[in-house]
Structure 1
């Protein structure tokens, strides 16, 4: 497990984060289980982009990164923070699933497939995070049940189309 601390513009931090699997604990602080080689490669790619911008424009963003490999003991100390972040994401996603389900059942809006696909991708990512970090807050049970409901409703909508 690695803790990555990044000091840069939000846009650049997001670009780095898209290259890695993990969880943003707070802005600029990420927990990842990606292999060290992938982390180093991703950080180096961002550095090259930043340097290129400085060379081309004569100015550019600040980019500083620290990659810390956590011991088992250190991870245990960070784990409650990760659990809280996962719980917050899961709770928000549960509310979003409720809204999507409501829209699907109302039958008024036919263009919900994009929303459904986006939610499916984020749901899968959250499940992967809980598995990788061995964290499963109580809200995850409700979330899984709600996802089954959403998936069944989406299936019904497809059959009707």
Structure 2
């Protein structure tokens, strides 16, 4: 299976870039090279030991991997977006597809309950603050979010899957 399998339909850790959680991380470079992905030469995104340039959803992205004790426990996609509108549209596409796969988010920052909790605490939410969602799963938690521009990067949309063994309550 290839990356397009992830966002085109139901996905599990096994479908996400070919590796399953707990797989030896020394297989990542070999499998990514075999799929035609190029190793990312820049500064690795925080928390990830491997990153590869790929194409997904008709745009460039990074496929990223995190390991613990030589075993895969997190993998995901990082997309750059042109602006806030592009980031919001991409997030909506990802959220719809992951919700189709996993059902309603287990925690959705756009929900009325979350917005009430935050306003009751005195917080003012921007639209970006509500573009975060989590989905529980049998073997992993999925997380999608939008990040505003910071020092050295523009708008960013991420989708990650973390093995339940590494999800902190």
Settle same-fold status: TM greater than 0.5. no
Structure with greater helix share of residues: 1
Q: Aligning the two structures, in what range does the TM-score lie when normalised by the shorter sequence?
A: under 0.3
TM-score in terms of structure 1 length: 0.24
